[in-house]
Chains A and B, each alone.
Chain A
């Protein structure tokens, strides 16, 4: 069984090697079969673990990774309910997206096609390593691995420099977070001498409050970078430069939720530090609001979805911050379903539109691409929280948890949820309803996507619609299956003594009323063609994303570039280059002079030798003086 566990991450790695090394030899169908196949098998293996309940109490150790007199960091995996859940999401959704990609990326040449799939497989490998690792170092390995894969895939079309900058931005922002993560690991090592989850969590209470708070905040800094929270969120919208399935897999369903996984995994530490919890919740709600407000006025379909992702991640952090860890993880799952579906649907739309991403140039696609339309509608309903979809159940739980923690937090989160519904309906209406606004060529090109793309859409749509029932509130006949499943690893928030029924009815009612109002409002609002002129006033600020990128450029990027330019053109050119070349020239010069001592005359040589003996005698007898003299100089 342990070998089987090892196979799960190794299979995608094998796929990466096969597809990557033989990229010039393999044909396109074969590449697709290998790359999707390994993920499919990994998914089946994960299902085996899930159904046999193979959750060993101790970590499975394979070999010593770093071993010295002080630390013993092993390469070991922790198979438990939490990691199994994430593995199911990664391999399951990952498999669907691989299948979808075989069709979506069909225009690439075989070599690039293979490059794409090898990166994708490597990503799945790294992500599995991240969630399977039984200590923070293995998690960090996976953490870095997904970072580099994200970089490679954002810059997949590397001939476009804009995309390369986006990739670089993502990488640098992630690295900033990684520093925090690394420092947290060092801190743990220094205080506890171990980074194994079992040892860290059982000794966590021995840590002082300062230590716990410092470690958890630093871990959260890592999560901020990876999960795109304020202030390190600006890379995620730019990351949409990558192919759309990549956005679905990496920048919606899996990698960006690594931060949530990390905090859920470290819940023992966070529970010891109320300060860190509050920081997590505040950052989460602020991000949720900010990103949702920006999403309102974006015209690029993928940008809207990207900001939506940032905003949804904010919701998850709110859940974690108020102590509802399982709820946060639950929202990761439902979000993986409906957001992957939204991205893949958007990919299908872009595919149909021949590469067009501007929603103002779409419209009326309902009839042309019906499968995409219906699945997209289900996703929009789910993310907006339409009653009894997966998104409704997970989001309502977040709101309930926020309400029992603090009232202002609840109202802010709820407002963000309203905004979510608003911008999602806007996209939906602009894309699928009304009349077509694109040019004739595009209209002629419109067609439904092939089955390799639509089947994953349908499967995800089913999951997005009913996937939430595992955690249906008791009020509606549910049994908390999800919370019970995770209970051995992650504690759920207790709602004991609260009047849940009233609140849940209130939320249900509020949601229905809100959605109707929004729907009507949207219909009226988007009836008039308002895309002729530019946005004005506050709308303009939102359309420009609160000028965040400009702000970062002004206070960080540009000063940094200026310093670099100064170092390059002044310090290096005239300073360091001068010194280096000067040393070289000096040595050459002295070489030319010293050479002359070798005159070729034996008489001279013997004279110098005799003089040298004399000098050595003088040095020997006066060495105390010489040493004293040298010490005085230096």
Chain B
């Protein structure tokens, strides 16, 4: 509850800041401080200290898994804010409101990591999404940003409709909104489970797949990611996406394994995984803009995170946490660097290593991590995902498919490394914005990725204390 309360409070504080605080530069630091308090509050709760005690059980349940994920998410937001201070100030005129919306998104995240009721799931998804519609359009004067915002809203509304339809059907089938299934109706059953519930679940899954940008519901992602201001893209493609995955995982963990064992759900997931990996990786190859390439790369990475939902075992659970960390950090770093470069195309990166060696080196580490090269966090992230499938004992071919697509992904990730290091050019960087603080933050993130890659137990041991 700490994080939920604190983030709502800080959202409101930031709203008032727009009137009360005259020094524009201070706002970013106030927000960063706010995030720090939320982070501390959440860690404190992990160890048993709460601000208030409400009986929220049937609606929310704060288990260690959720709390631990909160920590990862808030930490990622913290790093994201520190890396994007200048960009956020530049995006439109309403900097305090920008942070307010981010705090509300964190509110949504904390609900999604602890929901025990399908209505709370819906509420969380909406609290998460609605600020994002606004954020996507935060660059008001930019036509692309407006277009992206409208597209996102239209398609988001459509998926919300689907989601409600699914929840309603599940209610019809089981007579309860609880995540833990109630009594099944006796008429019209398949393997003892109501048809309505199955239909509802499939539809609900499609809606969740939409939020997590899993093919074939990914269409909004490239256009929105491309059009949104770079900091917003970074935020959406990382923290928001992995949260959607976590909510998805929580749903399937209860509904798919425990109650519907007689029904084989694997096939539907396998189709989604292959489609996502295929579309994400194959389309990324041909992109000329790094931003769009990263948009497709985020779809491809979503394909890998789907493996956790496919296998639904302990390895998958650990792996999802690990993947969230590894993927978010690397992508945030890449987007932060990109916002310092005026030309987003691959040519714009030519010769970056000569001009900005720190940026090039850290970005190379991020890209290596995303492509899953050993000694970076990305390797173990992928390893856990594939290992979870192997542990289920069947569908080994899905692992082979995953490895093949991981190989293909190396092509477009390394293309950027090649541009930075082996091509000559004079990249158009915004030099006065590349402060020593920014560089040091990038180095910290890169070191963290390598540490996680070298000692994967670092993170997971903490999860188990």
On A, residues with C-beta under 8 Å from B are: 587-588, 590-592, 594-595, 597-598, 600, 602, 605-606, 608-609, 612-613, 615-617, 619-620, 623, 626-627
Contact = CB atoms under 8 A, between A and B. Distances in A.
Contacts of B151: 602
A602 B154 contact: yes
B44 interface: no
A602 B155 contact: yes
Interface stretch (B263-271, B319-327, B373-381, B438-446): B263-271
B286 A591 contact: yes
A609 B154 contact: no
Secondary structure type dominating chain B contacts: helix
B217 interface: yes
B311 to A, nearest CB: 17
Secondary structure type dominating chain A contacts: helix
A598 B202 contact: no
Contacts of B286: 588, 591-592, 595
A493 B217 CA distance: 85
Contact of B268 (A588, A605, A616): A616
Interface in B107-126: none
B251 to A, nearest CB: 16
Given A592-B286, A605-B220, A619-B271, 12 more contacts: A588-B285, A591-B282, A597-B219, A606-B155, A608-B216, A609-B206, A613-B203, A613-B206, A616-B202, A619-B267, A620-B268, A623-B268
A594 B282 contact: yes
18 contacts: A587-B408, A588-B286, A591-B284, A594-B282, A600-B223, A605-B219, A608-B219, A609-B206, A609-B216, A613-B202, A615-B216, A616-B206, A616-B268, A616-B271, A616-B272, A617-B202, A619-B268, A620-B268
A590 B282 CA distance: 7
Interface string B266-282: 01100110000011001
For B265, B279, B282, which residue has the most chain A Cβ atoms within 10 angstroms? B282
B283 interface: yes
Interface of B: 151, 154-155, 158, 162, 198-199, 202-203, 206, 210, 216-217, 219-220, 222-223, 264-265, 267-268, 271-272, 278-279, 282-287, 408, 411
A623 B271 CA distance: 11
Given A598-B222, A602-B155, A612 B217 contact: yes
A598 B223 contact: yes
A600 B147 CA distance: 10
B195 to A, nearest CB: 10
B289 to A, nearest CB: 12
A612 B216 contact: yes
B216 A598 contact: no
A592 B286 CA distance: 6
Contacts, number: 71
A166 to B, nearest CB: 38
Contacts of A592: 286
A466 B188 CA distance: 106
B408 A598 contact: no
Contact of B285 (A587, A600, A605, A609): A587
Given A595-B283, A605-B155, A623 B219 contact: no
A609 B210 contact: yes
A607 to B, nearest CB: 10
Contacts of A588: 285-286
A591 B267 contact: no
Given A600-B223, A602-B154, A620-B202, A594 B279 contact: yes
Given A591-B285, A595-B283, A620 B210 contact: no
A628 to B, nearest CB: 12
A476 to B, nearest CB: 69
B267 A626 contact: yes
A600 B411 CA distance: 25
B144 to A, nearest CB: 11
Contact of A606 (B158, B206, B264, B278): B158
Contacts of B285: 587-588, 591
Contacts of A600: 223
B288 to A, nearest CB: 11
Contacts of A616: 202, 206, 268, 271-272
Nearest to B217: A609
Contacts of B223: 598, 600
A244 to B, nearest CB: 46
Nearest to A617: B202
A612 B217 CA distance: 8
Nearest to A609: B217
Nearest to B199: A617
